[in-house]
Structure 1
Amino acid sequence: MENKNEHLSSSLATLNLLKSDLICSICLELFRDPISLECGHNFCAQCITCHWDSGVPESQPPCCPECRKRCDRGKLVPDVRLRNLLENMNSLQQKMPSDICSAEAKPLQLVQAEPSRDISLCPEVLDQCLNHPQVKNSPVCLISVMGEQRTGKSFLLNYLIQGMQGLESKDAQWMTGGRAQQRFQCAPGAESITKGLWIWSRPFILERNGGKVAVFLVDTEGSISPGQDKETNAKLVALSMLLSSHQILNVSRMLKQTDLECLEMFLHIAEEIGEYFKMEPVQHLNFLVRDWFYPATFGKKAGQTHLTNVTQNISDKYPRIWKILKNQQACCYLLPFPGKKVASSSNGKPEDMDSDFYQYLHDYITDVCSSATQHVKKHSDGQILTGGKLAEFITRLSHQLTKKEFGFYSSFDSIATELHDMRMLEAAKKELEDFVKEQDTSTKSTFASLKTLPETMRKRLSDKNDAIIKHLKETLKSPGKSQIMNDFEKEIQKIVKDFQDSYRKRFCGQTVALGGLVGGGILAAAGGIVGIGVAATVLTLEAAAMATGATVGATVVGGGIGAGIGALVGRAKGKETVPEEEEKKPLFQDDE
């Protein structure tokens, strides 16, 4: 038996090695009719043809998508070596047991929930899943299951795995194919309770409009269970909301008021995450009511009736749930009791199920799996998110949630407040940075800078700083916003001071340089004060001099450069620095 297992493991390793060498870098699938370019890189014949037809103008020679070397369309060569490798791989795969090819697929803990109320994201798992070559640049749909502990979330997820496998292989008998196993494992130990967030390691690749969608399944710790730590649960919900484009709220017997109260808070969190990351906060919400006790009223239609009855006249109490229902982003499904054999067993085999439960479970899983490609993750503007981009967002949010200075205060609703304030702080900082950048750009040239004294720039920055601080004080919601404001003011004051120092040095350098021009006779220094009109003339003549090599001298008439500018720029060779008291005297001002 050991020799057989070793042989299977060796065969699986060989199969995986073959697959890694047989992926087209355009479609990220196994080669179909592989061809070789002159540079030696390989692609599907149809992929490279479509790539060139859609992305290369006829007037330009085509290039290899990988190395960018020019290629000749007429020199595409069928790659017999790769074709033989594909045939060998298919032959090897057919000889292996049906469950070996997916033996490497398993649940991985993406987020750990620590006893200290901290959460930690596992970057390796994130990279293995969302940054996988087949997923990184592809649309993704993540189906997450949330709900109370011990309500059969893992049971549901394991049948979703079977449904997805059946959809991939086009196997209509997926539910009775002998694969009903508990594959989403709970946390080790007697409690058998999921901890943190777990994600199925292998994406299910489904077709959508001629392309591919990577579908993942996610198991969430019992986030609405009484007695659970609210701070940890709020963080887990935030990450789960960010991950998911199809959320299943798994409840027992009926949709209760406590479920609605928790859901309303979850949706508040989702709104803030959506605002922060510019994403659609809730794309599809699915209420799954297990062990529904009224006979002959099961399925989706009955579920919609139940949802309507429960949520009548809730617009005031649960405005966010009402909004989801109004926009038809939610549905409800009722499942009957599975039967005594299933209830008393940990296996949940199809042959142990009551006939009604078997049929309704089959229909529900089929509906969720077949609709997955309709619920790809999106930005709020409708732009589709790739796996790699979603991984970036998850990393950013995880970093914010674990910052020590970013405190949470024992309620689900508080995380929404924290996320709101985080968004306001980042927006305020960006507003100041953009303003500083604008001031820097607009005063790059010598004469533009000379028109704006350091004291004038200081006042501009101070006014902008005060306006941002005032607005922020009105928009922050956290009880501890005084400390938040103190920390923020220190941060932006440093930005302002750094630019003020930089601007003053540049201003002084430019006046010294202009003083050198005057001292060298390029500009004529005369008494009086430069008028506005003369300043414009100097600016124009400076540009002409730069272009032609001409000098600006006595042509500057009507006052010349006088005492105001002479005190600063009339120094021999421009060696001296500008005294600080001179900063307040304008270089260019109106004639009197």
Structure 2
Amino acid sequence: MAEQIKVTRSDSFENVSKFSENSDTMMSGDAKLSSSEQYGAIQIVKSEEKHKFILDHEALERILLQDHIKDKHVVVVSVAGAFRKGKSFLLDFLLRYMNFTYIEEVPNGDWMGPNDVPLEGFSWRGGSERDTTGILMWSHVYLATLTTGEKAAVVLLDTQGTFDSESTVRDCATVFALSTMLSSIQIYNLSQNIQEDDLQHLQLFTEYGRLALADTGTKPFQRLQFLVRDWSFPYEADYGEEGGRKILERRLQISEKQHAELQSLREHIKSCFSEISCFLMPHPGLKVATNPKFDGRLKDIEPDFKESLSQLVPILLAPENLLLKEISGVQVKAKDLVQYFKSYLNLFSGDELPEPKSMLVATAEANNLSAVASAREMYSSLMDGVWGGNQPYLKMTQYLV
């Protein structure tokens, strides 16, 4: 059995990286942010010196257990991939869209904003050294009305970049695994192309997915969005969704010439995810790549990149495209997501990567604990209705009837 996760006291809210302009939005309930705290990126999974990951469960609960959030079904959007490839930069444009669409509620306006305003949100910077470590969650959970009329809670995650000089292979696999298992939309951020090693990083999940598929009859993962940055071959496939579909078909194609292992990998990837798509983006321009003072202003970004960005973000976050998180075919509420975080962090707390079968057991355990918590909450609510402080007590003679 995996060792217990190490819990850290929540000091994350004292070190919010950058602020949104909507910090005066009111929250209700016991687990709310104080008026002095502003929205920002909160590190909920931290990387220790000895390559151990710890969960700041208190910070996680303060975000997800707010009274107006905890019982809402959740959409979890995560960005993963190699370090220094613009994941946090992308997420800040997702934040702009979310603020514009779900707070300002201007559905058809220019969500990208003015040309001369710096980009704020998740911490990012230019250069060759890593910036993000562990897993960060944006402290504001957005409420979005789906096409069904249901209000859902939308959570944004940023992840530590893989394959930097300080991370082990296990570190990279752990962060990628956690974000894939916990998200409903996993954006796989790649540079220039989809290469064979990019597909091989999904190997751990394909075996888990095969077991889960056999156990529950449902695909364990939902949407995998390949996002190819700095696509340099528009003469082969155009920028955007259609070009991405063309390249994805080529990369996942199975042929007789391939080694059996490569064929199996492609078959399992297709069987593990409910939806797989790809989007090709151009290079944002030399000012973005080489100017150390670049701060995200639209005026410094190439027009074709901005055009692609304006197409990509609604594909991910428009109400009709939001995807509720499901595990074993059951939609997950915000309060349930806390338990899945704890169970999966337990799973990856050992010195070795877990066996796929262990991943299946951890999911079943989290399902059970979540069901127990829901049953206890329902029981307490019903009993309060019968025996609560506002109810008259029973006389002794009534017990004897």
**Pair 1:117-2:51 in alignment:** yes
Q: Distance in 2 between matches of 1:425 and 1:360?
A: 40
Whether the 8 Å contact between 1:245 and 1:375 is mirrored in structure 2 is yes
CA shift, 1:126, in A, is 1.1
Number of the residue aligned with 2:318 = 370
Q: Which runs of 5+ in 1 are unaligned?
A: 1-11, 26-100, 409-413, 427-592
- SS of 2:59 mapped into structure 1: helix
Report the alpha carbon displacement of residue 380 of structure 1 after superposing the two structures with TM.
2.0
Q: Indicate if the aligned counterparts of 1:143 and 1:247 stay in contact, CA closer than 8 A.
A: yes
Residue aligned with 2:327, SS: coil
The equivalent residue for 1:399 is 346
The structure that has the greater radius of gyration is 1
Question: Partner of 1:165 in structure 2?
Answer: 99
Q: Does 1:361 align with 2:309?
A: yes
Residue of structure 2 in register with 1:241 after alignment:
180
**Contact kept? 2:39, 2:140, Cα under 8 Å:** yes
Q: Partner residue of 1:181?
A: 119
| Shift in Å, 1:233 | 2.4
Q: How far does residue 227 in structure 1 lie from its aligned partner after superposition?
A: 7.2
Alignment of 1:454-465 (within 5 A): none
The worse-fitting range, judged by mean Cα deviation, of 138-147 and 314-323 is 314-323
- 1:330 and 2:276 matched: yes
Deviations 1:500-523 (A, max 9, x none): xxxxxxxxxxxxxxxxxxxxxxxx
User: Counting strand residues as a fraction of each chain, which structure ranks higher?
Assistant: 2
User: What CA deviation, in whole Å up to 9, does each residue of 1:208-246 have, x standing for no partner?
Assistant: 122211111111112355873122223223321232110
Structure 1 residue 390 displacement after superposition: 1.5
Partner of 1:212: 151
Change (3 A) 1:157 1:356: same
Aligned to 1:304: 245
Code of the residue aligned with 2:113 in structure 1: it is T
101-110 vs 340-349, greater mean Cα deviation = 101-110
Q: Which amino acid aligns with 2:79?
A: V
Give the whole-Å Cα distance in 2 for the aligned partners of 1:160 and 1:102: 25
* C-alpha displacement of 1:311: 2.0
Q: Name the TM-score, length of structure 2 as normaliser.
A: 0.71
Does the CA contact (< 8 Å) of 2:348 and 2:354 recur in 1?
no
Structure 1 residue 149: Cα displacement: 0.6
What one-letter code is carried by the residue in structure 1 that aligns with 2:287?
A: K
Q: Secondary structure at the match of 1:284?
A: strand
Deviations 1:170-219 (A, max 9, x none): 331120246541321159x9934211001111011110122211111111
Does the CA-based 8 Å contact 1:273-1:419 persist in structure 2?
Answer: no
**Identity %, equivalent residues:** 26
User: What CA deviation, in whole Å up to 9, does each residue of 1:436-465 have, x standing for no partner?
Assistant: xxxxxxxxxxxxxxxxxxxxxxxxxxxxxx
Count matched residues.
325
C-alpha separation in 1, matches of 2:362 and 2:340: 14
Q: Does residue 254 of the first structure (1) align with residue 193 of the second (2)?
A: yes
The answer to whether the 8 Å contact 1:144/1:219 transfers is yes
Shift in CA distance, 292/226, structure 1 to aligned 2, threshold 3 Å: farther
Which residue does the alignment assign to 1:349?
297
CA contact (8 A) 2:200 2:265 kept: no
Q: Is the 1:241–1:281 Cα contact (8 Å) retained in structure 2?
A: no
| RMSD value, Cα | 3.5
Q: Which has the higher helix share?
A: 1
Q: How far did residue 318 of structure 1 move?
A: 5.0
1:199 equivalent to 2:134? Answer: no
Structure 1 residues 107 and 162, CA gap change in structure 2 (3 angstroms): same
- Report 1:547-566 matches (<5 A): none
Aligned-partner residue type, residue 90 of structure 2? L
Deviations 1:240-270 (A, max 9, x none): 1232110000000111111111123344456
In the alignment, which residue of structure 2 is the partner of 1:41?
none
After superposition, residues 413-424 of structure 1 pair within 5 angstroms as 414-417=353-356, 419=358
Q: Is the 8 A contact 1:113 1:196 kept in 2?
A: yes
Match of 1:340 among 286, 289, 293: 286
Supply the AA of the counterpart residue of 1:157.
Answer: L
Whether the 8 Å CA contact 2:316–2:322 is kept in 1: the answer is: no
The letter for the 2-side match of 1:161 is L
Task: Quote the residue 1:134 is aligned against.
Answer: 68
TM-score, structure 1 as length reference: 0.50
Counterpart in the other structure of 2:78: 144
- Write the distance in 1 (CA, Å) between the matches of 2:97 and 2:363: 43
> CA-to-partner distance for each residue in 1:293-338, whole Å, 9 max, x for gaps?
1236110000110111122216851535434446761000000111
